[in-house]
Amino acid sequence: MNKSFLPKIIFLFVWIFFMQLNSFSQSKSDLDKLKNKKANNEKEIKNIQKFLQEAQKTKAISENKLQLINKNIELRKDQISIIGSEIEILDEKITENNEVIASMGKDLENLKEEYSRMVVYAYNNRDPYLQLMYVLSSDDFNQAYKRIEFVKEYSEYRKNQISIIKSVQTTINEKIVKLEEIKTQKQNLISEKNNEAKKLSSEKQLQAGEITKLQAKEQDLKKKLAEKRKEIQRIDQEIRKAIERIQKQTASKGIQLSPAEQIVSDQFGGNKGGLPWPTTSGVISLGFGPYKHPTGVSLENSGIDITTQKGASVSCVFEGKVVQIINLPSGTKAVLMQHGLYFTLYSNLKEVYVVTGDQLKRKDVLGIVYTDPDDNSTVVHFEIWKEFTKMNPVLWLAK
C-alpha cells in the first residue's frame, strides 16, 4: 500500500483545476476579442456591399467602386486571419485536454492497481481475530495505540480510494465531452474559413475586372487624376495659409490660445479614439497615407474618404470655430474648423450651412455631401491636423 499516492492525486486535482481555470480564462478572453473583431468586420463588409450595390447601378468608370472593392478584400483577408487565430487557440485547448486526459488516465490505472492490492491484502487479513492479535502482540501501549490507529486509517483510506477513483473517472469523462465540443467548434471554423476564402476569390475576380475597365479608360482616368491633384493641392495650401494667419494674429511662433481655447484643445486631444464620425453612416473607402491610383501613380491621402449614402449630412466632430469655407475647382466646398491647436476639414460638400466665424458644438450639421452624377458615388473627405502636422483620422474616430 502506497499512502503517499493520495496527496499526489489531491495535488494533481488542484493543479489541473488552477491550470485549466487560468488557461480557460485566457483563451476565452482571446476568443471573445477575436469574435468581437470578426463581428465588427462583418458589419463593415455588409455596409460596403450596400454601397457597392448602389455603385453597380451605373456603368460609368468609378475609382470609388474599386476603392470599395479593395477595402472589402482587405477586410475579408482580415477575417480569414482572425479565423486562423481562433483555430490556433482551439488547437492549443485540444492539446491541453488531451494531455490532461492522458495524465489522469495513467493515474487512474495506478489508483485501480493500488486498490486491487488493497483488496487482496484486506481479503487475506479479513479475520477480526487476526486484527486483534496484531494489536495485542504490541510491545507496549504506545505501539498498540499506533496499530489501532493504523487499522482505522487503513479502513478509511480504502473508502477514500474508491471515492477518488470515481472522481478521477468522472473528470476524465467530462474532459472527453469537452474535447469533442472543442473539436466540433474547430470543424465549424474550418468550414467558415473555407467559405471566406471562396468569397475572397470571387472578390479578387471582381477587383481584376474593375481594374481592367478602368485601365481601358486611361485618358479619362488621367483627366480625373489631374483634377484630383489640383483639389488636394488647393486644400493643403488653404489649410496651411489659415494656420499661418492664426499664428500671425498672435505675432509669435505657434498658436497662442486663450484659456477657453486651451480647454477645447486639451479636450479634443483627450478624445483620441472617441470622436464621433462626421456622417451617421458610411465606410472608409480610402485610408490615410500613401496608395496606388489605378493609373499606377503613387498618391498620398491627407485624411480618409468616407463613402456614405446620397443626401447624407456632415457634422463637426467636436466643438470649435469655423475658420474658412474653401471653394474647390470641382465646384464643391470644404469647411475648415479650429479646435485649439487642432483643425478638422470636411471636404466634397455640395451645400454648406455655416459661415466663417461660427462657433459650433459637437455634432452640429455643416452641410450636405456631394453625389457625383457620373458614378453615383457619395464621398466625404475628412482630415485632422495638429497645427501643420497631418494626423490619421482612423486613430481619432470611435470604432
The DSSP-derived string for 282-308 is -EEEE-SEEEE-TTS-EEEESSEEEE-
The per-residue pLDDT for 76 is 94
Q: Which residue has the higher pLDDT, 370 or 297?
A: 370
Q: Which residue has the higher pLDDT, 20 or 269?
A: 269
Please say whether the beta carbons of 370 and 351 come within 8 A. Answer: no
* Number of CB atoms found within 10 A of residue 399's CB: 8
Q: What is the CB-side half-sphere exposure of residue 167 using CA atoms within 13 A?
A: 13
Task: Name the least confident of 19-28, 159-168, 289-298.
Answer: 19-28
The per-residue pLDDT for 399 is 81
Task: Quickly state the pLDDT bin for 151 (edges 50, 70, 90).
Answer: low
Percentage, residues of the chain above pLDDT 90: 49
3-state SS, 202-252, equals HHHHHHHHHHHHHHHCHHHHHHHHHHHHHHHHHHHHHHHHHHHHHHHHCCC
Domains and their CATH numbers in the chain: 5-215 (no CATH), 221-395 (2.70.70.10)
Q: Which residue has the higher pLDDT, 136 or 177?
A: 177
The per-residue pLDDT for 129 is 44
The per-residue pLDDT for 10 is 53
The per-residue pLDDT for 220 is 82
In terms of DSSP H, where are the helices of the chain? 5-55, 63-124, 128-136, 141-216, 218-249, 259-270
The per-residue pLDDT for 170 is 81
Residue 389 neighbours by CB under 8 Å, 6+ apart? none
Task: Quickly state the pLDDT bin for 130 (edges 50, 70, 90).
Answer: very low
Residue 131 three-state SS: helix
Task: Say if strands 365-369 and 342-352 run parallel, antiparallel, or are unpaired.
Answer: antiparallel
Instruction: Compute the average pLDDT of residues 229-247.
Output: 91
* Number of CB atoms found within 10 A of residue 181's CB: 12
- The three cell numbers of residue 54 are 448602389
Please determine, for residue 219, whether its predicted confidence score (pLDDT) is greater than 90. Answer: no
